[in-house]
């Protein structure tokens, strides 16, 4: 059964390379993301991982109070990134199995428990990451294009 867990130190190397530690393109990313994560954690950054029934992490989400994001607002949380691994290489394709929906719900519930008035995300028209249409399917509405 799928499980959503808060990011713990054991999974930092995987998280800091966006679940793509197998990719040579991600070889130099980890140290920079770790420094960023450490800095932003002091500002309320939170992260969760989705694990499949074998205990393999296949998805991740990171979010923080909107006041510390690139968006304008207050009293809300902002999704910086939600990603479900979809490559056949590495850990394999986890898309289309509900991981993204489970991650989104867990983040929304967590933000609500912290007193947040809601969740905001930025959506793209690219077909592989942070699709605006995916957020719309989950009840999000467009509030700004810029």
* Whole-angstrom distance, CA of residue 74 vs CA of residue 97: 33
pTM given for the model? 0.88
Q: Find the domain containing 110 and state its range.
A: 3-137
- Assigned domain for 70 exists: yes
In a domain, 144, yes or no: no
Number of domains into which the chain is organized: 1
Q: What is the pLDDT of residues 61-116, one digit of tens each?
A: 999 999 999 889 999 999 999 989 887 777 778 898 999 999 999 999 999 999 99
- Give the CATH number, domain containing residue 111: 3.40.630.30
Which residues 6+ apart lie within 8 Å of 37 measured at CB? 12, 15, 16, 45, 47
How far apart are alpha carbons 53 and 2 in whole angstroms?
A: 5
Compute the 3-state secondary structure of the chain and give helix, strand, coil in percent, each to the nearest 5: 35, 20, 45
Is 123 part of a structural domain of the chain?
yes
Backbone torsions φ then ψ of 135, nearest 5 degrees: -65, -40
């Amino acid at each position: 059964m799928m499980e959503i867990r808060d990011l713990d130190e054991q999974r930092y190397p995987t998280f800091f390379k966006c679940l793509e530690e197998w990719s040579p393109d991600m070889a130099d990313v980890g140290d920079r993301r770790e420094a960023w994560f450490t800095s932003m954690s002091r500002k309320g950054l939170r992260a969760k991982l989705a694990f499949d029934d074998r205990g393999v992490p296949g998805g991740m989400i990171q979010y923080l109070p909107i006041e510390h994001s690139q968006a304008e607002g207050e009293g809300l949380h902002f999704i910086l990134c939600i990603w479900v691994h979809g490559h056949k290489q590495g850990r394999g394709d986890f898309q289309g199995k509900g991981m993204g929906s489970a991650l989104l719900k867990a983040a929304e519930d967590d933000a609500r428990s912290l007193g947040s008035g809601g969740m905001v995300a930025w959506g793209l028209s690219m077909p592989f990451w942070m699709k605006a249409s995916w957020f719309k399917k989950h009840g999000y509405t467009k509030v700004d294009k810029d």
